[in-house]
Copies of this chain bind each other. A is one copy, B any other.
């Protein structure tokens, strides 16, 4: 019931871009450093997110990646689905189950519950909550 490291890296990268506010491209190297993600691995992840239409990029000096649309129009669920492939708890046509079983309905419920969180949380929400927490509470200027 867990998210892969790759999925977490993807979320952190998009979060980093969402924090920028500006549409200027950010270098892979910078994202890798500030989010502590292995750079070559991050390259693959960002390419995949670009393929999904969530990011854009520019090559050459002053190149980098940027959000392809505003942060309030990208959800956590979008990114997770793009990286992990799906969100269904059970996507197995194999593990032969008796045709008549109570579990498909259960998995539907689980998926809807998950969806309620991840498809309603945008990166704009994440940035906002994070800024609020920073301004009120524990002061920690690591980023």
Cross-chain contact A5 with B101 (CB below 8 angstroms): no
In chain A, positions 96-111 with a C-beta closer than 8 Å to chain B are 96-103, 105-106, 109-110
Cross-chain contact A95 with B140 (CB below 8 angstroms): no
Cross-chain contact A102 with B117 (CB below 8 angstroms): no
Number of interface residues of A (CB under 8 A): 52
Cross-chain contact A8 with B95 (CB below 8 angstroms): yes
Chain B hits for A15, CB < 8 A: 101-103
Task: Give the Cβ gap from A40 to chain B, nearest Cβ, in Å.
Answer: 16
In chain A, positions 40-98 with a C-beta closer than 8 Å to chain B are 76, 80, 84, 86-92, 95-98
In the assembled complex, 21 residue pairs joining A and B whose CB atoms fall closer than 8 Å, in A order, are A1-B2, A1-B88, A1-B114, A2-B89, A2-B91, A3-B90, A8-B97, A15-B101, A15-B103, A34-B98, A36-B96, A36-B98, A100-B130, A100-B142, A102-B126, A102-B127, A102-B130, A106-B121, A109-B117, A109-B121, A113-B114
Question: Hey, which bits of chain A sit against chain B, CB under 8 A?
Answer: 1-3, 5, 8-9, 11-12, 15, 34-36, 76, 80, 84, 86-92, 95-103, 105-106, 109-110, 113-114, 116-118, 121, 126-127, 129-130, 133-134, 138, 140-143
